[in-house]
């Protein structure tokens, strides 16, 4: 069996107080796992800890994902550069990934390739017509799609997505779900997402972990 992309053992996350403890989780290549649970449980805190934004309180996270660009993070508050264009925000993802810079021979075709990758990612989320617009002039759902394009432009091994489908109508949510399922399957990366909407979680994920009934303990094996 393939080696998991990420393996979490007895992880405790929180701030100056623990929020979720004894977290055990493995995600295999090509697999999508969704976390559901009521507000304030610590779901965002868990993703931020795995992304390396905040330190873990205890436990271990294994996997070759901490290399440059290994984790594509779509935060709940998106973290887009509001005055910059869609193109430039997606470019930040492309620059963060390593593959693009090592695949091409010289700086001239590197910049051309990079531009093609960025335009392709923006096209995949249906925002080609807005590519030169600054983020502040986009709707909430359009901004979520930019953050999705930024994550895939990075070609990460693990995608962490925090409620990335909220503010999207059914048609757009369905299309982003198909895009992500295809992306994860084609690249054999892994995805861990937090999703409030249980129907959407079932639609996108191979496996769902409901934190509400876990009394702050999360254990799931593939
Ligand atoms: N920077 C911080 N410092 C201290 N406590 C925090 C910080 N950020 C969040 N918290 C607290 O941690 C708890 C969990 O927050 P978190 O954002 O992880 O929840 P969540 O499960 O993602 O909720 P939601 O579904 O509403 O997004 C909350 O009680 C919150 O007040
Ligand atoms: Mg949250």
Which domains are present in the chain?
1-65+157-222 (3.40.50.300), 80-156 (no CATH)
215: pLDDT strictly greater than 50: no
pTM, two decimal places: 0.90
Whole-number pLDDT of residue 33: 97
Q: Cα(76) to centroid of ligand 2, in Å? A: 6
Whole-number pLDDT of residue 121: 95
| Other Cβ atoms within 10 Å of 88 Cβ, number | 16
**Under 8 Å between Cβ of 190 and 30:** yes
Full DSSP string of 155-191: --SEEEEESTTTT--HHHHHHHHHHHHHHHHHHT-EE
Distance between CA atoms of residues 114 and 166, nearest Å: 29
Closest of 48, 2, 42 to residue 22, by C-alpha: 42
Whole-number pLDDT of residue 113: 82
Q: Cα(47) to centroid of ligand 2, in Å? A: 9
Tokens 């436990």, residue?
A: 59
The reply to whether ligand 1 has any atom less than 6 angstroms from the CB of 40 is: yes
Q: Cα(42) to centroid of ligand 1, in Å? A: 5
Q: Cα(56) to centroid of ligand 1, in Å? A: 14
133: pLDDT strictly greater than 80: yes
Q: Cα(48) to centroid of ligand 2, in Å? A: 10
Ligand closest in space to the Cα of 42: 1
Does residue 26 sit in helix, strand or coil?
A: strand
What are 35-69's pLDDT values in tens digits?
Answer: 999 899 999 999 999 999 999 999 999 988 777 67
Who's near 151: CB < 8 A, 6+ residues apart?
72, 73, 74, 93, 159, 161
Whole-number pLDDT of residue 216: 42
Closest residue CA from atom 25 of ligand 1:
39
The reply to whether ligand 1 has any atom less than 6 angstroms from the CB of 45 is: yes
What are 162-210's pLDDT values in tens digits?
Answer: 999 988 899 989 989 999 999 999 999 999 999 989 999 999 999 999 9
Q: Which atom of ligand 1 is nearest to the CA of 211?
A: 21
Closest residue CA from atom 7 of ligand 1:
15
The reply to whether ligand 1 has any atom less than 6 angstroms from the CB of 44 is: yes
Q: Which atom of ligand 1 is nearest to the CA of 163?
A: 27
Whole-number pLDDT of residue 64: 81
**pLDDT category of residue 212 using cuts at 50, 70 and 90:** confident
Q: Which atom of ligand 1 is nearest to the CA of 45?
A: 18
Mean pLDDT is lowest, of 19-28, 65-74, 93-102, 151-160, for 93-102
222: pLDDT strictly greater than 50: no
The reply to whether ligand 1 has any atom less than 6 angstroms from the CB of 17 is: no
Q: Which two tokens stand for residue 155?
A: 């070609």
The reply to whether ligand 1 has any atom less than 6 angstroms from the CB of 41 is: yes
221: pLDDT strictly greater than 70: no
């Amino acid at each position: 069996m393939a080696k998991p992309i990420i393996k979490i053992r007895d992880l405790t996350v929180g701030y100056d107080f623990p929020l979720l403890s004894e977290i055990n989780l493995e995600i295999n290549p090509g697999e999508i796992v969704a976390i559901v649970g009521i507000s304030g449980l610590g779901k965002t805190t868990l993703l931020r800890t795995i992304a390396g934004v905040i330190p873990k309180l205890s436990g271990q996270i294994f996997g070759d994902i901490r290399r440059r660009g290994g984790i594509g993070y779509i935060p709940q508050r998106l973290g887009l550069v509001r005055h910059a264009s869609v193109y430039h925000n997606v470019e930040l993802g492309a620059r963060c990934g390593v593959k693009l810079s090592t695949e091409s021979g010289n700086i001239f075709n590197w910049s051309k390739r990079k531009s093609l990758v960025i335009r392709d990612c923006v096209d995949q989320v249906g925002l080609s017509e807005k590519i030169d617009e600054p983020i502040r002039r986009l709707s909430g759902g359009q901004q979520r799609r930019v953050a999705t394009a930024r994550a895939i432009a990075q070609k990460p091994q693990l995608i962490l997505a925090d409620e990335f489908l909220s503010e999207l109508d059914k048609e757009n949510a369905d299309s982003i779900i198909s895009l992500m399922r295809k992306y994860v399957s084609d690249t054999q990366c892994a995805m861990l997402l937090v999703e409030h909407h249980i129907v959407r979680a079932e639609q996108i994920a191979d496996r769902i972990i409901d934190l509400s009934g876990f009394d702050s303990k999360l254990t799931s094996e593939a």
